[in-house]
Amino acid sequence: MTSAVLLLLIVVVLLVLRQNVLVILALSVAYIHQVWGDGDTLYLLEDAWSAIDKEGLLAIPMFVLLGTVMTRGSIASRLIDIAVSFTQGLRGGLSAAAILSCAIFAAISGSSAVTLLSVGTILYPAMAREGYSTSFTLGALTSGGTLGIIIPPSIPLIIYGIATETSIVDLFMAGLVPGLLLTAVMTVYSLWVNRGLPTRKPENRISKRDALRRGMPSLLMPVLLLSGIYSGYFSPTESAAVALVYALVVELFIYREIGPRDFFPIVRETVTMVGSLFPIIAIATSVNIFLTAEGIPQALGEWLQANMGNVFIFLICLNLLLLIVGAFMDTFSALLILGPLLLPVAVGFGVDPVHLGIIMVLNLEIGLLTPPLGLNLMVATMAFRARFGSVVMSVLPFILLMLGVLAVITFVPWLSLALL
C-alpha cells in the first residue's frame, strides 16, 4: 500500500509541476518495474520496441500528413465551399455547413485537432460576419472537431485496434453509423438554434455548380479513402498512403496551392505531432504487458462479474469511469492503458470487443470537451483567441447531445455492429 501511495504522490507532484504526459508515464512505468516487477527497467525498452513494431501504426503518420497537406493547400477550403453551397438556402445554414464540413474533413484526416483547426480557421470569421453568436460558433466548431475521433478513418480507433488486437477495418465500419448519427444530431440542433437567422444574402451565396466544379477532386478524396477500406481492397495503412499520394497530386498539379518549397514545413509539422504520440504508445504498452503478466485484467474481470450482477450495470459504470478518465487523461493514453485492461472484463459480460471500442472512443470524444484537460478546449482557446471559460460554457449543449448519442450507442449495440 505504501508503494502505491508513493506512486500516486509522484504522479500528483508531476501534474502540479505541469509535466507533460510522456514524462509522467515514463517515470510511473519505471517505478512500477522497479517496485512490483523484478527491478529491471530494461524490460521497459523491450516492451517499447514490441509496441511500435506494428505495421498498423504506419497509418497514423500517413493520416496526419494527409490532414496537414489538405490544410496547407486548398482541399479543405473547397470541401467547406461544397458544404456551404448546399446549406445556404436554410435558415442557420452556415451552422449546418460547419458541422458537415467537420464530418467530411474528419472522414479524411482522422484527427480531432486537425479537423478543428482546418474548418474553424475558415468558418469562424465567416460565421461572425453572418451574425451567429460567438458562444454558438465556439461551441459548434469546437464540438464539431471531435467528429474526427469517431468518423472513420479514426486515429483513436487505430490505437484501440492495435492495443487490443481488434480488427481495425471492423472498427472503422462500426464507427460509421455512430459518426453519422452524431453528425445528424448536431446538424439538426444547429439549424434549430439558429432558425431565427436569415438565409445568406444573394451576393454572398456560393453556386452549387461552381462549388462542385472547383471541389470535385477534393470530394473524391473521402470516396477513394473509405471505399478502399470498406471494400477490403486496401488495408487502412494502404488507404492512407493512396489518399496521401492523391492529395499531393491534386494540390501540386491541379490546384497548385502548394509547391516543393512547402514540403519541409509540412513534414516538420507532421513529425512534431506524431513524435509526441509514438513514445506514449511505447511506454503505455509496457504497463499493459506488466499488468497482463501479473493477471490483473483477469482478476478484475472475476471481481466485477461477482459484484456487478449484469451487463446493464457494468455498462453504466463503464461509461462513468470513461467520462471521468476522459476529463483527466489524453485519448491515446486512455485507450492504450484501459483498452487491454477492460477488454477481458467486457467480453466476460458479453460485450463485443468492437462495440467496446466504439463506447470507449465516444466517451473519450466527450473528454476532449471537458475540463481540465480537454484537448479541443485548449486548441479552440488558442486558435480563436477566446477565454477558456467561454469555450467551456459554449460546448455544454453539445456535450448533452453527445451524452444522448452515447446512451443510444451503448444500449443499442446493433447500431455499431450492423455493418459487420
Backbone region of residue 91 per phi and psi (left: phi > 0; alpha: psi in -120 to 50; beta: other values): beta
**Cell 449543449 sits at which residue?**
397
- Distance (Å, rounded) from C-alpha 180 to C-alpha 372? 28
- Distance (Å, rounded) from C-alpha 354 to C-alpha 337? 17
DSSP string computed for 325-365: HHHHS-HHHHHHHHHHHHHHHHHHTT--HHHHHHHHHHHHH
- Distance (Å, rounded) from C-alpha 205 to C-alpha 68? 28
Torsion 313-323-95-216 (CA) sign: negative
State the average pLDDT over residues 220-240: 82
Residue 46 cell numbers, joined? 523491450
Closest CA to 257 of 77, 118, 113, 6: 77
- Distance (Å, rounded) from C-alpha 49 to C-alpha 46? 5
Q: Are 145 and 379 in contact (CB under 8 A)?
A: yes
Would the pLDDT of 277 be above 80?
no
pLDDT of residue 39: 56
Q: Give pLDDT tens digits for 75-126.
A: 878 888 898 888 888 888 999 999 999 888 877 776 777 788 878 888 899 8
pLDDT of residue 43: 66
H-only helix segments in 73-201: 75-87, 93-109, 112-129, 134-144, 155-164, 168-193
Top mean pLDDT of 60-69, 147-156, 324-333, 359-368 is at 359-368
pLDDT of residue 42: 65
Q: Give pLDDT tens digits for 174-222.
A: 999 999 999 999 999 999 999 888 777 665 677 888 888 888 888 888 7
Q: What does the radius of gyration of the chain's CA atoms come to, in whole angstroms?
A: 22
- Whole-structure pTM value: 0.86
Would the pLDDT of 154 be above 70?
yes
Would the pLDDT of 233 be above 70?
yes
Mean residue pLDDT across the chain: 83
The residues, ordered by sequence, that sit 6+ positions from 222 with a Cβ below 8 Å of its Cβ are 104, 107, 108
- B/e letters for 46-73, b = 16+ CB within 10 Å, e = fewer, are ebbeebeeeeebebbbbbbbbbbbbbbb
Give percent above pLDDT 90 in the chain: 23
Q: Are 52 and 310 in contact (CB under 8 A)?
A: no
pLDDT of residue 18: 67
Domain spans of the chain, in order of start: 54-275+309-417
Q: List Cα–Cα distances, 357 to 9, 155, 171, 225, 247, in angstroms.
A: 31, 12, 7, 22, 29
